[in-house]
Structures are given as structure tokens and as C-alpha cells.
Amino acid sequence: MTTMATTISVNGTSVTRQVEPRTNLVDFLRGELGLTGTHVGCEHGVCGACTVLMDGATVRGCLILAVQASGRDVLTIEGLSEPGHRITKALQEAFVLRNALQCGFCTPGILVTATELLTQDPAPSRELIREAISGHYCRCTGYHAIVDAVQQAADVLAATQGPA
């Protein structure tokens, strides 16, 4: 199988690898770069476990090929866990305190989507949160605690922001 030289900015660092055109982004991140925080739950675009940010917007890592991410900016849960990502940090804290994860397999993907949500809407309603994370399957929690945690994170972020 032929390979193509592909350069992607991943978590702020530019990486170049020879990749087979059939390799999808999540396999590239996990297999080539060892970034195993992004998970594979279905490989057909339904479960959301493979969600990462590409140029600031959520994408499913199983639905795009690594070569399609060429020249783009990809942020994974590992990158979002580094200092400076205050929305993700607040979400992570709230998820732990509220026990909004059980097995944790769905969690990185949901945190990526919730980060995008709170970036766009700092005070979403419960319905909107449920709507926003409906592209993610969680088989363990029943979702209630996840909705609570996203709301808690939004509250904490609003409080630490100070009055406008």
C-alpha cells in the first residue's frame, strides 16, 4: 500500500508521518502518535468516542482520514488537558466531583464536545446540553450526571469570570 507524507498540527506541535491513505484520523492519533485518550467505539460515526477538535470544531476521528487532516490544527483530550484550557479544566473538575463518568470510555469525546458547547454558549439549558451531547453514546451513566456536570462547569466558569 502506498503512503503519503502528511503534516498535521496535533496539540500545538507539527507532526509529519508517512500514512496510508486508508488510515483514519483516530487510528493515526492512537497508533502513530500514541495519543490513546481518543477512543474508538464504533468506527462508523455514531458513538462519538473518537471526537476531537479540528480547527476548533468537533469532528469524528473515525470519519475523516488522516490525510484529510493535513495542514489542520487538531486538539485531542491530551492537548485540552494542558494548562490554558480553562473550559475543559472546569468540565473535568465538575465531571470528577459529580461522578459524571463511570467506565470513562465515552468521557474524552464528551468533554471535547462540551468544551465546544461552552465556548459557544456559556450558559446552556439542560435541554440544550442534552441536545449537544446526543451525538455521544454513554452506556454507563444514564446522562443525568453528565448534564449536571456541564451545568456545574458553566456555573463555575461564570463565577470565576467575575461580573461583566
Partner 1 sequence: MMSDRAPVPPLALDRPNSYIGRSVPRPNARRLVQGRGHYTDDVAAPAGVLHAAFLRSPYAHARITHIDVAAAKAAPGVALVVTGAEIDQVCEPWVGVLSHFKGLRSATQHALAVDHVVWQGEPVVGVAALTRAMAEDALSLIEIAYAELPPVTDPDAALLPESPLIHPELGSNLAFALTVESGDAEAAFRDAHTVVSGDFRFGRHSPVTLEARSVLADFNPSERRLTVHQSTQTPYQMQDIYARHLGLPQANVHVIAKDVGGSFGMKLHVYGDEVATVAMSVILGRAVKFIADRLESFPSDIHARDHRVRARMAVAADGEITAMIVDDLTGVGAFSAYPRTSAVEGNQAIRLMGGPYKLRHYSGNLRVVFQNKAVMSQYRAVGHPIACGVTEALVDQAAAAIGLDPLEFRRRNLLTDDVYPYTSPTGYLFERLSHHQCVDKLERLMDYPALRADQAEARTKGVVRGIGFAVFIEITNPGPAFYGVGGARITAQDGCVLTLEPSGNIRCAVSVTEQGQGTEAIMAQIAASAVGVRIEDVRVITGDTAATPYGGATWASRGAGIGGETVLITGKALRANLLRLAGILLQMPPDNLDISDGLIVDNATGRERITLQELARIAYYRPDTLPQGVQAELTAAHHHVPRGQPFAFTNGIQASHVEVDVESGFVRLLNHWVVEDCGRVINPLLVDEQIRGGVVQGIGAALFEECLYSEQGQLLNGTLADYLVPMASEMPDIHVDHVSTPTLHSELGAKGVGEAGTAGAAAAVLNAINDALQPFGARLSQMPATPERILRALGKLAG
The helix/strand/coil state of 146 is: helix
Pick from 29, 64, 118, 138 the residue near ligand FES by CB under 6 A: 138
Instruction: Rule CB under 6 A: say whether 40 interacts with ligand FES.
Output: yes
Taking CA atoms, 121 is separated from 104, 125, 154, in Å, by 25, 10, 9
Q: Which is nearer to ligand FES, 58 or 152 (CB)?
A: 58
Q: Which window, 13-21, 28-36, 123-131, 134-142, contacts ligand FES (CB under 6 A)? A: 134-142
The helix/strand/coil state of 74 is: strand
**For residue 108, with 0-12 CB atoms within 10 Å meaning exposed, 13-18 middle and 19 or more buried, which class applies?**
buried
Instruction: Rule CB under 6 A: say whether 106 interacts with ligand FES.
Output: yes
Q: Which is nearer to partner 1, 69 or 138 (CB)?
A: 138
C-alpha cell at 103: 467506565
Pick from 9, 105, 128, 156 the residue near ligand FES by CB under 6 A: 105
Pick from 11, 76, 113, 141 the residue near ligand FES by CB under 6 A: 141
Q: Which does 125 bind (CB under 5 to 8 A by kind): ligand FES, partner 1, none?
A: none
Task: Compute the radius of gyration of the chain from its Cα atoms.
Answer: 16
C-alpha cell at 92: 473535568
